Amino acid sequence: MIERGRRGEHGRPRSPEKLRRRRLRVSGAPDTRVFPCPSPPSPSCPMPIASPLPLPLPMPRAAGEPREHTYRRADRLTHAREFQAAFRGTLKKSQGPLVVFAAPNGAGRPRLGLSVGRRVGNAVTRQRLKRYIREAFRRHKGELPPGHDLVVAVRPHAVRRAAYYERTLLDLAGKIGRELDKRAAKARADVPPMSDTPGTP
């Protein structure tokens, strides 16, 4: 004898799935099953909505890595006027495919700007060069002229290894630092000495 309630309207046995749905309706419990959908999902079978995953946390600094070896938003130029100030400045040094324009920024730290035009190469090449120069700036930020914006313009050339751009940027930074020292010494020499005698002009 078949248990009462396990047959449908026409006397046929109910399927296990129908029995399960009937129990859910009676108990009021939510249906928490997740069915596989075709790939890609279709309107008749959308992807199940799952609870949002937590966003990945930013990569922490490596143990022992100095804070000055980081590259933050405050370390780069973000406005056109900052680039123009460096381009209009009087301090410019070049070596190989790199040209560096420098201008004081009053921030007390070096900041980096990049100018890599389409003549240098396709988007992949330009992004690779930017990554090389940013990494060189990050690693040697403490050795660059403090309080100056450095805009690095890249000329068309055959792309080399990252170490080449790191070495070239350091050479150019050294030239800029020596030029700044020379200008500071000249400015001090142009200041007339103060007289020790009161009332003497």
Say what percent of the chain tops pLDDT 70: 66
183: domain CATH number is 3.30.230.10
Q: What is the mean pLDDT of the chain?
A: 79
Is there a contact between 136 and 170 (Cβ–Cβ < 8 Å)? yes
Report if residue 146 sits inside a domain: yes
**Structural domain harbouring 124:** 69-188
Report if residue 59 sits inside a domain: no
The confidence band for 189, taking pLDDT boundaries of 50, 70 and 90, is: confident
What domain count does the chain have?
1
Model confidence pLDDT, tens digit, residues 1-26:
444 555 555 566 667 777 777 776 66
Q: For residues 143 and 185, what is the distance between their CA atoms, to the nearest angstrom?
A: 20
Is there a contact between 86 and 150 (Cβ–Cβ < 8 Å)? yes
Report if residue 134 sits inside a domain: yes
Bridge partners, residue 104, by sequence: 148
The three-state secondary structure class of 75 is helix
Report if residue 194 sits inside a domain: no
Model confidence pLDDT, tens digit, residues 101-127:
999 998 889 999 999 999 999 999 999
Report if residue 6 sits inside a domain: no
Report if residue 137 sits inside a domain: yes
Model confidence pLDDT, tens digit, residues 43-82:
555 554 444 444 444 445 455 555 556 778 888 999 999 9
Report if residue 199 sits inside a domain: no
Sheet holding 111-116, edge to edge: 91-95, 98-104, 148-154, 111-116
The one-letter amino acid code at 17 reads E
Report if residue 127 sits inside a domain: yes
